[in-house]
Each structure stands twice: as structure tokens, then as C-alpha cells.
Amino acid sequence: MKFLKVIFAALAVVLCASSAQAALPSVKLKDLKGKTVDMAQLDNGGKPMIISFFASWCKPCKRELNAISELYPDWVDETGVKLVAISCDKAQDAAKVKSYVDSEGWEYEILLDPNSDFMRAMGIQQIPHLLIIDGTGKIVESRSGYTDGSEGHIIKKLREISKGNASKAPAKKKVPAKKK
């Protein structure tokens, strides 16, 4: 009986690990200007990405994205991260989403998922929900909910990913300084 428990536990670990590495499904969303974006093609040039699912009526979602907004320019400078915030507001509320985003001054790419097609394809059932994606497009973390101060964990994870990407990148040539 213990042997079966060990086998099932090992299988569960493998399945969880493989689901954490899944690529994004091909679901088409629109940005606030009406441009179509295929989520499977989402890319940040080998640098990490964050995908945050939110709604304009969700207070924890807004707290999370506002807290990240204060730190985001520094995160971009340090890690090259790109944040894509995906609204699951209904289609008739798209104007509310744009108005709220503009009022907060978010510098994120905002996409609309009015029928929750992408959320469903990702198996996400509650918001806020945040995905951290490495430079190869693999999901390395998926978490629901927001706790004040969790930005510290996010930047720590981004730094780990960035270090991993830096070690895989070709070495930069040093250019000798010009003599005056």
C-alpha cells in the first residue's frame, strides 16, 4: 500500500510540474484599441512576462495591479519584464476598463477577454490570478489571490528567471574604451 502511495505522489508531482511548464493556448483577444492578439504568439524577446487576470469591479485585482504599477518601471529596467493585464469584464464594460486603466496610468498592455475564453483555456477560475512566464514562454508560476506585499515575491522570481536567461545568452563582446 505504501508503494502505491509513493507512485501516486510521484505521478502527481510530475503532472503538476508539467502543467506549470505549459505554453499559452492560441486564443485571440483584443487590446483597448481593437487590435487582435493571439495569446500563443505573445512574446517578450526572451525576457520574462507577467500575465495578470483582473476585472474593473475586483478590488483585490486593482490593489495588486496598482501596487505593481509603482514598481513596474524599475522591474522593466532590471529584468526587461513585460506585464500583460487581461480584463475579464463583459464586452459592454470595455469602456469602463479603458477609463479605469487611463485613470490609474497603468503602463501595461491591456487585453480584453469578455467571454473568459482565455481564462477558461488556462483553467483559471478566480481572479486576481497571476502567471509568471520565463523567456522561453513557459509558465513558471501560477497563483490566485493577492496579499499586500506579494510584489517582493514576484520580483524575486523575475530576478531568478532573468539570471537563468542571462546564463543562456551569448556573452557580450567587450568594446575597448575610446582614447581621448
In the chain the domains, ranked by start, together with CATH numbers, are 23-162 (3.40.30.10)
Q: For 109-130, what is each residue's pLDDT tens digit?
A: 999 999 999 999 999 999 999 9
pTM (predicted TM-score): 0.79
Residue 165 pLDDT: 58
Residue 163 pLDDT: 85
Which carries the bigger pLDDT value, residue 143 or residue 14? Answer: 143
The CA distance from 31 to 11, in Å, is: 39
b/e code 28-54 from CB counts within 10 Å (16+ = b): ebbebeeeebebeebebeebbbbbbbb
